[in-house]
Amino acid sequence: MKLSIVVPCYNEEATIPVFLSTVTPIVQSTGLDYEIIFVDDGSRDTTVATIVALSNLYSKVRLVELSRNFGKEAAMTAGFSYATGDAIIPMDCDLQDPPELIPEMIAKWKAGFKVVHAVRRSRQTDTWLKRITASAFYRMMEGITDVAIPPNCGDYRLMDRTVVNAILSFPERNRFMKGIMAAAGFKATQVEYDRPERAAGETKFNFWKLWNFALDGITGFSTVPLRIWTYIGAIVALFSFSYAGWIIIKTIVWGVVTPGFATLTSVILFLGGIQLIGIGVLGEYIGRIVAETKRRPLFLVGALYGFEDRNTVVQLDAASADRGAL
């Protein structure tokens, strides 16, 4: 049996040496054949040069260099496409995904589980704001989707080859990998861990990227935001009819009363704001529909290092080669 470690990286020159020196002995202790596939997502530092240099010391290192920055979700998919293992583990190279869990995950995989989730027991290394927003996001996703996304579970997990092939069959371009992995299903279990600090370097995720990441998850796996505006429209219409009825009755009973300019302005601005928000939600979905219909490649490979056969690629869609990594 063979194990593939898939490591998306972006400007991680400082963490690569520490990652390899830590992970390699642990993977070797499992007794499995293995490969470590780095996917460089358009780094602007010496990440690529560092990986190529270290590949002379670590023979199991492979590198997929993307032609530009496509985002972590696309980079992870590229790694899955080139992985040849019977089990695949995606993980970050900052060692916040503890490699010490790998033997336990492999043991559960050998016991018959197709997916082994690594669940964070605590998030003390995250900021207070990130802990609050992450908790709220997972609770919201649980309520608005029919896909059970494990809370406090990042991308770090072990997946059987069958599961990875199923994930690669999902054709969408706006990829929320946590949702796609959960939507694939299969028999799953979990291991728990306390998330450590980064081994080196700085996080590449800021608030704006996390916000867009959350939007991809919501719009990719739920139509509830669209449905909500149907109910909001019905409530506003009901309120408007009720208010109109009250105006008619008041006019008949007490006569004509000159309406206030401030009241009229407030109502107009309120309804205008409601309409713009609704249009904005609709625009989020339409924008993603446009991206899907263009059928652009999810990622493009600039160079490969360490692969014996550069033509060995698992296409995202066997019926359409232009949607794969070529």
Other beta carbons within 10 angstroms of residue 196's beta carbon come to: 13
Q: Give yes or no: residues 144 and 287 share one domain.
A: no
Q: Are 288 and 219 in contact (CB under 8 A)?
A: yes
Instruction: Give me the pLDDT at residue 238, please.
Output: 75
Please indicate, yes or no, if residue 219 is contained in any of the structural domains: no
Q: Is residue 177 part of a domain?
A: yes
Q: Are residues 104 and 59 in the same domain?
A: yes
Residues 79 and 142 in one domain: yes
Which two tokens mark 128? 């207070």
Do 267 and 186 reside in the same domain of the chain? no
pLDDT for the residue 256: 62
Judge if 254 and 242 occupy the same domain.
Answer: yes
pLDDT in tens for each of the 326 residues of the chain?
A: 889 999 998 888 888 888 898 989 998 888 888 889 999 888 888 888 888 888 888 888 889 888 888 888 888 888 898 988 889 999 888 888 888 889 989 998 888 888 888 888 776 666 666 667 666 766 766 666 767 777 777 788 898 998 888 888 887 777 777 777 777 778 888 888 887 665 555 555 556 666 666 666 666 666 677 777 777 777 777 777 777 777 777 777 776 665 665 566 667 767 777 777 777 777 777 777 777 777 777 788 888 887 765 444 433 333 333 333 33
Contact of 45 with 9, CB cutoff 8 Å: no
Per-residue model confidence (pLDDT) at position 325:
37
290 and 319 fall within a common domain: no
pLDDT for the residue numbered 38: 92
User: What is the rounded distance in angstroms from the CA atom of residue 271 to the CA atom of residue 233?
Assistant: 10
* Residue 238, φ and ψ in degrees, nearest 5: -60, -45
Full domain range(s) for residue 28: 2-206+296-323
Q: Please check whether residue 148 lies inside any domain of the structure.
A: yes
Same domain as 15, residue 152: yes
Closest by CA to 38, choosing from 67, 61, 58, 71, is 61
Residues 103 and 228 in one domain: no
- What integer pLDDT is reported at residue 227 of this predicted model? 72
The encoded tokens of residue 75 equal: 């980079």
280 belongs to a structural domain = yes
Structural tokens at position 167: 């994930």
The answer to whether residue 281 is domain-embedded is: yes
Strands 115-122 and 301-305 turn out to be unpaired
Do 268 and 166 sit in the same domain of this protein? no
Q: Work out how many domains the chain is built from and give that number.
A: 2
Task: Kindly state whether residue 73 falls inside one of the protein's structural domains.
Answer: yes
> Would 154 be classed as within a structural domain?
yes
Q: What is the pLDDT of residue 128?
A: 63
Q: Given the DSSP bridges, would you call strands 115-122 and 188-194 parallel, antiparallel or unpaired? A: parallel
Are residue 164 and residue 148 in the same domain, yes or no? Answer: yes
Report yes or no on 304 lying in a domain: yes
Q: What is the pTM of this model?
A: 0.68
Contact, 72 vs 41, CB < 8 A? yes
